[in-house]
Amino acid sequence: MPLLVCLSLFCLSLVSLFVWQRVADVAKWDDLEACLGQPKVNNPT
């Protein structure tokens, strides 16, 4: 049973990683960073 749980968790993490990559591609990291309130590195000001 523990093996099955580990396998399902691994698959779930892979899927969530893929989804997060798609979200990042669509929303673009700059917009995400602005939403999170993190300072941009390439900001000239």
| Mean pLDDT across 8-32 | 83
Does residue 15 surpass a pLDDT of 80?
yes
Domain ranges of the chain: 10-40
Could you tell me the pTM of the whole model? 0.46
CA 6 to chain CA centroid, nearest Å: 21
Residue 22 has a pLDDT of 85
Rounded CA gap, 34 and 32, in Å? 5
Q: Which two tokens stand for residue 10?
A: 């691994």
Cα distance between residue 40 and residue 44, in whole Å: 9
Provide the H-helix boundaries in 1-45: 2-27, 29-36
Would you place residue 33 in the very low, low, confident or very high pLDDT band (cuts 50, 70, 90)?
low
